Amino acid sequence: METFVWLANASAEVEGGGFGLNFDILESNIINLSIIIGVLIYFGRGFLGKALGERSERIETAIKEAEQRVRTAQESLSDAQQKLTQAQAEAQKIRANAEEQARAAKAAILEKSDREIERMKASASQELEGDRDKAIAELRNRVTALALEQAEAQLRQQLSDRAIQEKAVDRSIAMLGG
């Protein structure tokens, strides 16, 4: 609109004053303008229609491609989510299996440890009993040796007397039957 006002002011200055419109058809070039506009519409309609049609087709193609990419992305997302769910389930199974194996291994180790402790107790008990029996046998041998020594000492004392010796010999002979 500013351009129109500027042109009207410029033409008024050239003609000598004021704002005005020129209604002379030949002088104002309305016929020339209408011919040019008509030619542009007649010849430009095909070009402009073709250009707009091509642009419309490119836009439609781009929209279809974008929609296809969206569908592909959604399918990929769905597949990835399904794989993630499966992987999480598999990881849960592996974790549960590992925990069960750990419990079984712990129980086996505890059972083996208990058996080993019992074996060691039995072995220690046997060794202790063997040592005790050995000590008792050793004490018996010592007591027997001491008893024999004392008996020999007493016999020597008693046999040192001749009369006692003769009595002992007579008794021994009597016992033998003679």
Distances (CA, A) of 124 to 90, 117, 131, 132, 134: 50, 10, 10, 12, 15
Q: What is the pLDDT of residues 4-41, one digit of tens each?
A: 555 555 554 555 555 566 666 666 677 777 888 888 88
What's the rounded Cα separation, in Å, for the pair 169 and 153? 18
Percent share of the chain, pLDDT over 90? 36
Q: Which residues of 64-90 are buried (b: 16+ CB within 10 A; e: fewer)?
A: eeeeeeeeeeeeeeeeeeeeeeeeeee
- pTM of this structure: 0.40
pLDDT band at 83 (very low <50, low <70, confident <90, very high): very high
What's the rounded Cα separation, in Å, for the pair 59 and 62? 5
